[in-house]
Amino acid sequence: MTTLTINGEKRAVKSPPDTPLLYVLRNELSVMTPKFGCGLAQCGACSVLADGEEIRSCITPISALAGKEVTTVDGLPARWAKLKGLASDPERLHPVQQAWVDEQVPQCGICQFGMMIKVTELLEHNSKPSDADIQAALTTSGPSPHLCRCASYAAIRDGVHRAAQIMAQGGGQ
């Protein structure tokens, strides 16, 4: 039995310790926002945060996550509320989620949960990224570029700038 902390909640997991986190999230814990794209750390669809850093959950065994705080897109609103000391509000989105709505970023949507995770990591380190910073975060900072088969890259870039703006104004709605 392994205990994981997922979106602030301790979860007891029966899967063997070498099971990749993605399979545990989706098949055992019904956390469905991380997607299976390639299974080889080559696309970013499965990305989650572990102690604030993006990891590819398709290749990360749960044994590597003991004592770490795992955050999926489901946990972003609570992460933002905690960071800003805001009262809990089930209606409030994380600024990145709000920006994705405002800019109508997703097309098919499969890649977008990983994109939002990567962008959250970026904005927690760099509150006003340039286009070059955004491109670097999404292409060269991880094990592979984050891939979007629908080629929504321009909308993603606009979404990042919008999220930075929302953050600078104090938060989601």
Among 2, 5, 107, 141, binds ligand FES (CB under 6 A): 107
Nearer to ligand FES (CB atom), residue 5 or residue 153: 153
Among 7, 98, 112, 120, binds ligand FES (CB under 6 A): 112
Nearer to ligand FES (CB atom), residue 108 or residue 136: 108
Binding piece for ligand FES, criterion CB under 6 A, among 82-90, 120-128, 142-150, 163-171: 142-150
Residues 3-62 interacting with ligand FES (rule: CB under 6 A): 36-39, 41-46, 56, 58
Among 24, 111, 119, 123, binds ligand FES (CB under 6 A): 111
Neighbour-count burial of 28, counting CB atoms closer than 10 A to its CB (0-12 exposed, 13-18 middle, 19+ buried): middle
DSSP of 132-150, one letter per residue?
Answer: HHHHHHHHTSSSSPPP-TT
Q: Does 149 participate in binding ligand FES (rule CB under 6 A)? A: yes
Q: Does 83 participate in binding ligand FES (rule CB under 6 A)? A: no
Nearer to ligand FES (CB atom), residue 80 or residue 113: 113
* Shortest distance, position 50 Cβ to ligand FES, whole Å: 14
Distance CA 139, CA 123 (A): 16
Nearer to ligand FES (CB atom), residue 19 or residue 92: 19
Residue 56 parent element (H or E): strand 53-56
Q: Is the dihedral of CA 93, 107, 53, 50 positive or negative?
A: positive
Distance CA 4, CA 8 (A): 10
- Positions touching ligand FES (CB under 6 A) are 36-39, 41-46, 56, 58, 106-112, 148-150, 152
